[in-house]
Structures are given as C-alpha cells and as structure tokens.
Amino acid sequence: MDKATVGFAPWDAAAAATMIAEMQDLPGACLPILHRLQGEFGYIHDEAVPLIAGALALSLAEVVGVIEFYSDFRRTPPAVHQVQVCLAESCQAVGSAALAERLTEVLGTEIGGRSADGRFDLRPVYCLGNCACSPALMIDGLLYGRVTPDRAPQLLAEVWP
Amino acid sequence: MSAWIPGDSGACSVGADDVARAIAAEAEARGLPADFHRNGSRGLYWLEPMVEVDTAGGRVAYGPVTPADVPGLFDAAFLEGGAHPLRLGLVADIPEFARQDRVTFRRSGLIEPLSIDQYRAEGGFAGLEAALAMTPAAIIEAVTASGLRGRGGAGFPAGLKWQTVLDQPAGPKYIVCNADEGDSGTFADRMLMEGDPFSILEGMTIAGLATGAAEGYLYIRSEYPAAALAMADAIQLLQDAGYLGRSVMGSGRAFDVQVRIGAGAYICGEETALLESLEGKKGVIRPRPPLPAVQGLFGRPTVVNNTLTLATVPAILAGGADAYAAHGVGRSRGTSVMQLAGNVKRPGLFEVPFGVTLDELVNGCGGGTASGRPLRAVQVGGPLGAYFPASMLDTPIDYEAVSERGGMLGHGGVVVFDDTVDMARQARFAMEFCAIESCGKCTPCRIGSTRGVEVIDRIIANEERTMNFALLDDLLEVMRDGSLCGLGGLTPLPVSSALRHFPEDFARTARHEGVTP
Ligand SMILES: Cc1cc2nc3c(=O)[nH]c(=O)nc-3n(C[C@H](O)[C@H](O)[C@H](O)COP(=O)(O)O)c2cc1C
Ligand code: SF4
Ligand code: FES
C-alpha cells in the first residue's frame, strides 16, 4: 500500500452510473458497488442511492439501510487522512488508552471526530489483527505497531502533506 | 547469498519495509550480489523485523532488526550467517519455534507467499492432487477421520458439515471461506492470507470437490487490506496456472474463487450474517433452521468454514488423516493455532498440539508479562471469551477442557493482562462492545448490552450496589438464554467470569485511587 494514493475524485454522477453498470451483475453486488464508489469519491453521495437502487432493483430505503448498517460506509466527505486507533483488548492491555488520549490531544478532537484543521478523521477500531505488536494504529490503510503515545505525533507528521 | 525479509503487514508495522530498503541499499553500496526475498512471518513477532539468511546448515535468523543495525550486519557478514549480537541462530532452533508443531502454518515465513514453485516445493498441491483421485465420499471420510473441527469458534466437525452439503440435491453449491477474523487478540487468518495464501485456496478447492460446489467466496474484513491484495493476486496466479477455473489441474472439474470485502461489522463473522452480507444486505442474523449447509448463500447449500479449517485440509489429505489425528487429546485432534498477545513478553503465533496448557503457552512460549509485573488475567477466545485468573493457567488448550472451566477456545486468541488491569472496566468494555456491534435483531442483545454498561457504571460508582448486582445477574441470564446468536449469548462470559474470579475489582471504587480494599 502506498501512502500517495490518498485523495478522492469529486462526485460525478455519470462516472458513478458507469461503475454501477459495470458491477451490477455481480452476485450480491451492493457491497462491492459501495466499496468501489467510496474508494473513488471518498463517500457515498446521496445521488448514488437511487442509482444503486435502480440498478439492483432495491428500494431506496434498502440501499440506505445497507449503507448505514456498516460502519465503513460514509454519507459525507471524509477528511484527507483516516486514523484508526485500536481500542480492543490486546491493545488495552498495553496502553491503548494513553495512545488514544494522546491522539485526541494532538488532533484536537474526540475519538470518532475530525481534527481541528479538518485533515484527520480519528476513528475507533476493534482489532487490526496486529495484536502481537500492540498498541496498533492504522493510517490511510497502513498498519503501525508498538505505537507508544510519544510516537503518535511523529507518525501523524509523516503523513502531513 | 540470499536474505528473507518479511512482507507481512504486522512485520511491516514495526519497520520490515524500512529494513528491506536499508538492506538493498547497503548491498548495492558494497557491490554485494544477493537475492532478497519477501516472505511471510513466522509469527515470532517479538523478534520482528526478523531477517533470515540461507546457510549450508539451514535458515539463520537475526532480529529484531532496525535500519540502523544494517551496516553492522553487513560488517559481520550476516549474509553468510556471521556472528552478531542480533543473531538468533537457526530458525529451527529458536526455542519458541522448536517447541511448535507446524501443520497449518508450516510454510508461513518459509516461502515467498506468491511463488507457486516454492509452494509446490514445500508440499503444496499434494493434497489437491490426492483429492482429485478420490471420490467425494472418500475425501469427506478422510477429513472426518482426521478429527478436524472448525477453527472459527464453534468447533463443529468439518467432515460432518461437508457431508450435509454433499447430501443436498445437485445444483449450485458454494464454499465460503470466513476470513472476517473479528476477534480481538487473533491474527492467524491475516498471517496465513499474507504468508501462505495458496493453502487457503487449495483447501477451498478440495472442499468444492468434496461437496460438488464449483464456486467459492472469500469474505475478508476491511481492516485487512494487505491480506485482500495478497488473496486477489493469489487467485489470479492460480487461475493463470490452471489450478482454479473451468478445469482444476486439467481434471475437467471446475472451481473458482472470488474475494469479497467486509465493511466494518463484527457480526458479519457470524456465518449467517456473513451470508447476508455476501448477498449485498445488512449483516443481520438469519434464524436457523435452515442450516447454511442446507440453505446458505443465495438459498443454496453452502459450506462456511474458517480460513484455518480450510487451509488445514490439504495437509490432511497429503499427509494422511491419521498423521493429523495423532496430534492432540480427547476430541480435540490435531494442532491448535494459538495467538498470544496483550501484555506478554513474547507475543506471537504458536501452533501447538491440543492439550498443551495455557501456562505452557503464556509462560513457556510467551515468557510472562511484558511489564514484568505479576500476571493477573488472561482472556481466552476473543472478546466473547472468558477471563481466567493466573490460578487457572493449568487449563489444557482443548475445546472441552476450556468449556468445562467456563470459557471457550474460540479462534485461539489469548490476551494477557498484568496486575494493573481493572476487571470491572474489562467487564464494562465487553458490554460496550456488544452494544456497538449488535445487529439489532433481538432485544436481549440490543437493549441488554446497553443496560449492562449502565448497570456496571453504577456498580463502579458505588450506587445501590445490591440492587445493581441483582439487576446485572438478571441481565446476564436474559442475554445468555434469550439471544439469537453468540454475540448477545456469549457476552455474559467475559462479564460473569470477571465477576466470579475478580470480585474485588467490583467491590469499591477505591481501587482506582490506589487504595487497597
Ligand atoms: C458473533 C460471532 C462472530 C463470529 N466471528 C467469526 C469470525 O470472525 N471468523 C470465523 O471464522 N468464524 C466466526 N464466527 C463463527 C461462525 O459463525 C461459524 O461458526 C464459522 O465460520 C464456521 O466455520 P468453522 O466450522 O470452520 O469454524 C462467529 C460467530 C459469532 C456468533
Ligand atoms: S444476539 Fe445480538 S447480534 Fe445476535 S442476532 Fe441478536 S441482536 Fe443480532
Ligand atoms: S486488539 Fe488491537 S490490534 Fe488486535
């Protein structure tokens, strides 16, 4: 995974319709389509909902229901950088609380919020599968391990554009 | 001269990529010709980044290596196995590796994960070749005889599940590999997907041959982007080489696999929620019956197995059911892939025969706590597993033994806590996790978990303790007996085990202020 791949295209209904058309015949296409749209545009634009519903013969409510059920899917544009801090047991056992607190201080937001400068979303995650290198953190899809609270500002500085 | 530097995302999370770059640059600067390979991880994470070199006597390891160590390693001629403070000796002789019995993980860390040649050279496809010469009934008989049980949590006999699918009328059937690995403290599926992806696909293919399924789905959680990339590449390579597709190894029998990515819902690890998710819906539990083996994906008979269950099958068919069943104890046959994490000196993956005790794992392999403080509790089996006190470390790792002691083995995660842990907080977290991840289908889980958090908060705050303890007991009973699936039904395990074994932590708030009760 490359750090340089961060950044999304502006919403484009025609491009979205093309992607949906390409994928609508996949069995159980809804999640793959949502992942593709979010990967492209960063979030699921409201205008995408009727496009998906039409292509998959679902109701608008069904599509919205799926988007809202899964914590990965967003209906509003994300910050440029996604910071996911693990708050599950293995990381708890070696100080994820202190790490999380440090992150909230540095970014000036609560867990689940956006940094004061609007560039970072700070999200909780319950296990990154890096428990043997706890405490763990993921920034823009890249995994970090043995992250002491003091290392957190430096890691964020690395992705600061 | 060749060196092996793990490309495993856990190893890279502590600098393996930086080490690989430093080694390549240093070799070039010194004009040394060398082959550099990126392998998976051996699972000895306290030694990661662990670099291995080929020597006449076998693979020699150095670790944990930082980029700053690299010039010194070259000065010490590490590429030829030279002496250096970081030299660990032969991998096979590292004590925590030597005491393992690697079956499912025998190739992880040994080979380049996407090399078909290296996979074959280390026994890959021998199981598939054997299966292609067998009848479906004979394949299932071998899996049954091996005693292999589901590694995803429930420990259901794999052969029995496959037999049910085989017995269904012909027509589309599916093999679903559950790589959702939501349990905290576990990472074996991730390691295997990144370190030996072909073994999973080989296992799925054998399951297809055994049950008459021609299509497979691999459902991977979205938190594992590197694993998803590795699996997609592995599928492409096997398709191109004729191991997957219309005619598996020229047999005329079809099997193919697609990857699907989850979207951040723990509940989608439960097999019926996973099937709903694969169908493009909300991950809400299906009532059963019908069993997925009868009516699963798109209403068709479906095998849902954990990644490790499937990946173990090729070794069983290649080496014989008896050889596998020779490991283990009682009704827990074969090897157990244990994942040790939390506050432990040597965290990692240890594949050991069933029957080894928690003490041998936590203290023998793991070396006790990382902090050096006394060990107070271990949580066995993920977020829905019980907390055991240090006095119960004599428990053998075996499905039945763990459940007799009020716990469950789950996917094999063990998380260690030292004496600074506050077990009332851990119990509260278990309830909170259930509330966050509940699919919302049934009230005991959806409402019960939220109430549970509130009640534990009141106990911690010393409010109306007698009444709140009684309320908590009732809640636990309702959740245990009235929930539709294991999320609501098993959340009482960590909570009640914390209450039972660590009552002092619920006794008063003073503990948090450092006052002894
Ligand atoms: C709440 C919940 C979460 C689960 N999560 C997983 C998981 O992440 N991975 C998994 O393989 N099984 C998980 N399971 C177990 C599956 O429902 C199912 O038993 C398993 O995939 C069957 O495969 P196996 O027989 O090979 O273990 C979960 C069960 C429950 C109740
Ligand atoms: S126990 Fe919880 S997760 Fe399971 S079906 Fe009920 S509400 Fe859904
Ligand atoms: S518990 Fe934090 S990475 Fe697994």
For the cut 60, the answer to whether the pLDDT of residue A128 exceeds it is yes
* Pairwise CA distance, residues B49 & B10, whole Å: 9
* Pairwise CA distance, residues B262 & A126, whole Å: 14
Q: Is B434 helix (H, G, I), strand (E, B) or coil?
A: helix
For domain B2-98, give the CATH number: 3.40.30.10
Q: Is residue A160 very low, low, confident or very high in pLDDT (cuts 50, 70, 90)?
A: low
Query: Does ligand 2 lie within 6 Å of residue B445's CB atom?
Result: yes
CATH class of B423-512: mainly alpha
**Residue linked to tokens 């999370």:** B13
Token representation of residue B233: 């590449």
* CB < 8 Å from B in window 59-78 of A: 62, 65-66, 69-73
Pick from B325, B317, B336, B328: which is nearest to B162 by CA?
B317
CB distance A131–B281 less than 8 Å?
no
Query: Does ligand 2 lie within 6 Å of residue B483's CB atom?
Result: yes
Q: Which CATH homologous superfamily contains domain A81-157?
A: Glutaredoxin (3.40.30.10)
pLDDT at B516: 40
- DSSP string spanning B298-340? GGS-EEEEEHHHHHHHHHHHHH-HHHHHTSEETTEESEEEEEE
Q: What is the DSSP letter of A137?
A: E
* Pairwise CA distance, residues A155 & A141, whole Å: 13
Q: How far is the CA of A94 from the centre of ligand 3 (A)?
A: 10
A138 touches chain B (CB under 8 A): yes
Instruction: Please list the helix, strand and coil fractions of chain B in percent, rounded to the nearest 5, in that order.
Output: 45, 15, 40
Query: Does ligand 1 lie within 6 Å of residue B335's CB atom?
Result: no
Report how many helices (DSSP H) and strands (DSSP E) chain A contains, helices first.
7, 4
B443-460 and B465-482 helices, crossing angle to 10°: 160
CB distance A93–B433 less than 8 Å?
no
Q: What is the DSSP letter of B364?
A: I
Q: What is the pTM of this model?
A: 0.97
Query: Does ligand 3 lie within 6 Å of residue A134's CB atom?
Result: yes
Mutation pick for ligand 1 pocket among B144, B189, B218, B271 (CB with most ligand atoms within 8 Å): B271
> How far is residue B260 from each of residues A54, B176, B301, measured CA to CA in Å?
22, 10, 19
Query: ipTM above 0.90?
Result: yes
- pLDDT (tens, 9 = 90+) of chain B, 517 residues, equals 799 999 999 999 999 999 999 999 999 999 998 889 999 999 999 999 999 999 999 999 999 999 999 999 999 999 999 999 999 999 999 999 999 999 999 999 999 999 999 999 999 999 999 999 999 999 999 999 999 999 999 999 999 999 999 999 999 999 999 999 999 999 999 999 999 999 999 999 999 999 999 999 999 999 999 999 999 999 999 999 999 999 999 999 999 999 999 999 999 999 999 999 999 999 999 998 999 999 999 999 999 999 999 999 999 999 999 999 999 999 999 999 999 999 999 999 999 999 999 999 999 999 999 999 999 999 999 999 999 999 999 999 999 999 999 999 999 999 999 999 999 999 999 999 999 999 999 999 999 999 999 999 999 999 999 999 999 999 999 999 999 999 999 999 999 999 999 999 998 654 444 434 3
pLDDT at A17: 98
SS (H, E, C) B66-133: CHHHHHHHHHCCHHHCCCCCCEEEEHHHCHHHHCCCCCCCCCCCCCCCCCHHHHHHCCCCHHHHHHHC
- Domain B116-325 part of CATH 3.40.50.11540: yes
Can you name the CATH fold of B328-418? Ubiquitin-like (UB roll) (3.10.20)
SS (H, E, C) B261-302: ECCCCHHHHCHHHHHHHHCCCCCCCCCCCCCCCCCCHHHCCE
* Pairwise CA distance, residues B34 & B55, whole Å: 13
Tell me the domain boundaries of chain B: 2-98, 116-325, 328-418, 423-512
List beta partners, residue B217: B176, B258
Instruction: Confirm if B28 and B61 have CB atoms less than 8 A apart.
Output: no
**Residue linked to tokens 């892939």:** B337
> What tens digit of pLDDT does each residue of A27-41 get?
999 999 999 999 999
Q: How far is the CA of B482 from the centre of ligand 2 (A)?
A: 10
Residues 6+ apart with CB under 8 A from B244: B201, B205, B235, B238, B255, B256, B257
Token representation of residue B298: 């798109």
pLDDT at A7: 79
Q: Answer left, alpha or beta for residue A12, where phi above 0 means left and psi between -120 and 50 means alpha.
A: beta
Interface with A, mutate which of B8, B13, B217 (most A CBs under 10 A): B13
CB distance A88–B185 less than 8 Å?
yes
Buried residues in B101-120 as b, exposed as e (16+ CB within 10 A): bbbbbbbbbbbbbbbbebbe
Q: Which atom of ligand 2 is nearest to the CA of B445?
A: 2
* Pairwise CA distance, residues B442 & B193, whole Å: 34
For the cut 60, the answer to whether the pLDDT of residue A127 exceeds it is yes
Q: Which residues of B touch A143 (CB under 8 A)?
A: 9-10, 12-13, 226
Q: Evaluate whether B2-98 and B423-512 have a shared fold.
A: no
Residues 6+ apart with CB under 8 A from B263: A31, A34, A35, A70, A71, A72, A73, B222, B277
> What tens digit of pLDDT does each residue of A43-76 get?
999 999 999 999 999 999 999 999 999 999 999 9
For the cut 70, the answer to whether the pLDDT of residue A1 exceeds it is no
Residue with CA nearest ligand 2 atom 6: B442
CB atoms within 10 A of CB B17: 18
pLDDT at A159: 74
* Pairwise CA distance, residues B42 & B399, whole Å: 25
Instruction: Confirm if B176 and B297 have CB atoms less than 8 A apart.
Output: yes
How far is the first Cα of chain A from the last one, in angstroms, to the nearest whole number?
A: 17
CB distance B347–A127 less than 8 Å?
no
To the nearest whole Å, the CA of B102 is away from the closest chain A CA by: 19
In which element (H, E) is residue B35 found? Answer: strand B35-37
Residue with CA nearest ligand 2 atom 8: B439
How far is the first Cα of chain B from the last one, in angstroms, to the nearest whole number?
A: 62
CB distance A126–B433 less than 8 Å?
yes
Instruction: Confirm if B429 and B415 have CB atoms less than 8 A apart.
Output: no
